[in-house]
A and B are shown apart, each in its own frame.
Chain A
Amino acid sequence: MRAILGILPKRGRATAGNILLGERDLLSLPAVILQSEVRGGQIGFIPQDPYQAFNPVFRVGTQLLETSRTKPGAAGRDGDKANIISLLKSVQLPDPERALDRYPHQFSGGQRQRLLIAAALASSPAIVLADEPTTALDVTTQLQILKLLRRLTEERGLSMLFVTHDFGVVAQLCDTVTVMYAGQTVESGPVSQILAAPLHPYTRMLLACHPDRGAALAGIPGAVSSPLRSPSGCRFHPRCPSARAECSVALPPRTEHAGKQDVQCVLYGAEAAA
């Protein structure tokens, strides 16, 4: 996610591949363009922790208007303000006109998350990246926010990349899902298909850990390897019950199953080739 936004920590860099937004490869864009057009422009970002995303000593309005002020083509102070207030209305924040003059501590967690969603939408982005935006919230507030996100994406024809570890949230909110393990994608496809018939051993074991699913509470044996000493080949092979000798040699190619379900696992390579 940070690679998409071009905000990887100093020591990290995307070394290969492309990140295409429309026709442009974000990895080859200069930092200035990323800042002025992409971040907070074509891409909106909703951070994980609504309690830490605001600076406590500045009014909410100052912080929300800052993004649009630094972008070229701003509608001017009053235009921006009107835009933000209309967004605050669409995220159903109570009393939107007065909200801008208040400080972050005067809002509850759910309200702050609404403010952050409004901020992410301020530049009318084409895509919104949401990094576990409901992890810090209670279930009842989480439901409010999920419903809001679903409505906003439908109304505005917005795409959303939603990062989460909660399969229940995925089931309720998303159309497609990609399962990652230790920096590799292992499986992706339509949510209903993957929940009903997961193919990759990791996806299967992960779903079996869900308190609603698993017959016995066991967990996946072993622990995620350190990123400094990643196993060769498929990174899940040291913990995989179906691992074979070739798993440690190379990552198997991605194969397609049952229409749109992509999986990267030797178990399914032969079938697809046949």
Chain B
Amino acid sequence: MTGARALLEIEDVVTLYGGGKRLLGKPRPVVRGVDGVSLSLKAGQALGLVGESGCGKTTLAKTILGLVRETSGTVRLDGQVVSGLSVREARAARPTIQYVHQDPGAALDPWWSIGHALDEALRIHGVTDRSERRRRVDEMLDAVGLNPTFRSRYPHELSGGQQRRVGLARILVLSPRLVILDEPTSGLDLSVQATVLGVLDGLRKRLGLTYLFVSHDLSVVKRMCEQVAIMYLGRIVEMGPTEEIFARPQHPYTRALLAAVPKLEPGSLHDTPALPGDPPSGTTERAGCVFQTRCAFAVSKCAEARPPLAFVSDEHLAACVRLNEIETVAQI
């Protein structure tokens, strides 16, 4: 395994929800959860997946995990095609991908001690030797910064930050290579968030993990990821190296999103233009660019065809028909 080879590659993945027929009446509307997404993730990398609620971040994450079946497209893990399988087969084919839930406190059984919960994960994954399981559980608790006494504690005795560490330990004990972190710090206060991010960053470097970091918090993504992909309504509108995207955002949506982050320097709200309206519903069929309804730069050709992701520079891609004009138009 070299650093240059992609650990995960997905190509033109589409995940639709609904569409089934009801016994009587109209068929259910189709929700285009993920609408043609391609991306690749190199081993050891952290990719931030950013977008508003309902844009399909979690659906994409669950499709990659194999928990939701993709409608079309290819998923390649370590060069092997692992798509086109049933949900059960897909999970079996992707054991090295694991998922950390948004709220690990809710994902832990209140009646089970922490040790029991971690032990179960290993048992399910076929580690039969009890002392081996015990050793690995202790090791992993230590790695996330909890001492072995936590083994006999129960979820309600832990703080939010400790619960997140346990959630993480339960996944890492299975030695995954790709960890999908779904909003790992939402709902935490600043101090606990900093601790959890510190632990995540340290573990990635120590264990050589690859992260898919799903978040709507741009400051956190900027801090944690080398690569970032911006999603809007099921599609990736821009992706590339984090530094470059934050310094030179190209897509109008990325620009609006970055401008909306409350900065620590006192400023005047009146000077920041807000994006008008709400994202349109995921059920409507869209011709052309998905963002045109809210875009300050929209022109008639935006409605004609869906803009493909085009190279802005070496690794930086954006999907906008006015890519070359935006910078100049925005300055006027």
A interface with B by C-beta (< 8 Å): 108-111, 138-144, 146-147, 150-151, 165-169, 171-173, 191-192, 195, 205-207, 209-214, 216-220, 223
Contact = CB atoms under 8 A, between A and B. Distances in A.
B265 interface: yes
A168 B262 contact: yes
A147 B264 contact: no
A214 B194 contact: yes
B52 A140 contact: yes
Interface in B263-305: 263-267, 269-270, 272, 274-276, 278
A109 B279 CA distance: 11
A71 B53 CA distance: 38
Contacts, number: 119
A217 B198 contact: yes
B260 A195 contact: no
Contact of B191 (A111, A147, A219): A219
Given A140-B52, A143-B275, A217 B223 contact: yes
A111 B278 CA distance: 9
A172 to B, nearest CB: 5
B244 interface: no
Most B CB atoms within 10 A — which of A139, A210, A216? Answer: A139
Contacts of B218: 139
Given A172-B266, A209-B194, A141 B278 contact: yes
**Chain B residues touching A, majority SS:** helix
Contacts of A209: 190-191, 193-194
B194 to A, nearest CB: 4
Contacts of B261: 139, 168
Contacts of B219: 168, 210-212
Contacts of A195: 264-266
B190 A144 contact: no
Contact of A167 (B161, B190, B193, B195): B190
B269 A172 contact: yes
B256 interface: yes
A109 B159 CA distance: 29
B275 A140 contact: yes
16 contacts: A138-B52, A139-B262, A168-B263, A171-B262, A171-B267, A195-B264, A195-B265, A206-B191, A211-B197, A211-B217, A211-B219, A211-B220, A211-B222, A211-B223, A212-B263, A219-B191
Contact of B264 (A108, A139, A210): A210
Nearest to A169: B262
Given A144-B274, A211-B222, A219-B161, 13 more contacts: A139-B261, A141-B278, A143-B259, A143-B262, A147-B272, A165-B190, A168-B219, A171-B264, A209-B193, A211-B194, A211-B223, A212-B219, A217-B201
Contacts of B52: 138-141
Contacts of A150: 269-270
Contact of B53 (A138, A172, A214, A223): A138
A79 B174 CA distance: 65
A216 B197 CA distance: 10
B223 A138 contact: no
A169 B266 CA distance: 9
Contacts of B198: 216-219
B190 A147 contact: no
A205 B194 CA distance: 11
B192 A147 contact: no
